[in-house]
Amino acid sequence: NAGVTQTPKFQVLKTGQSMTLQCAQDMNHNSMYWYRQDPGMGLRLIYYSASEGTTDKGEVPNGYNVSRLNKREFSLRLESAAPSQTSVYFCASYDRVNEKLFFGSGTQLSVL
């Protein structure tokens, strides 16, 4: 039981490059989330998905896209990275039955 797996753990991009952050959970959870964490800003919700095939915007969705093609995976895509997207990104999933939230270990992203 691996929990929530995020890849990569570290990434450096140049402005304008694109990339996809991968997130997978093996706990059969319906709800999944993407957050970014910046100093003094806490964790801000980028997008979330309450079930397979559905996604909703969070607090800071601009510049990001997400994909929930199956129950297990929820990916976050930066189409044209900007320095303002330098942050630590966390993926999470929620167990409605036991009411527990599980976090991935985070991705440190730097955009130069």
Partner 1 sequence: AQTVTQSQPEMSVQEAETVTLSCTYDTSENNYYLFWYKQPPSRQMILVIRQEAYKQQNATENRFSVNFQKAAKSFSLKISDSQLGDTAMYFCAFMKPLGTDKLIFGTGTRLQVFP
Closest CA to 109 of 32, 29, 26, 46: 46
Closest CA to 48 of 86, 8, 85, 91: 91
For partner 1, which stretch binds (CB under 8 A), given 15-23, 41-49, 66-74, 77-85?
41-49
Q: Rounded CA gap, 54 and 26, in Å?
A: 18
Q: Rounded CA gap, 41 and 91, in Å?
A: 17
| Residue 12 binds to partner 1 (criterion: CB under 8 A) | no
| Residue 77 binds to partner 1 (criterion: CB under 8 A) | no
State which residue, 9 or 77, has the beta carbon closest to partner 1. 9
x/- site string to partner 1, residues 79 to 108, per CB under 8 A? ---------x-x-x-x-x--xxx-x-xx--
Q: What is the DSSP string of 44-58?
A: EEEEEESSTT--EE-
For partner 1, which stretch binds (CB under 8 A), given 18-26, 39-47, 62-70, 75-83?
39-47
Name the minimum Å distance from CB 70 to partner 1: 18
30, 94 contact by CB (below 8 A)? yes
Instruction: Look up residue 82 and give its amino acid.
Output: A
Give the footprint of partner 1 on this chain (CB under 8 A): 30-31, 33, 35, 40-45, 48, 50, 56, 58-59, 88, 90, 92, 94, 96, 99-101, 103, 105-106
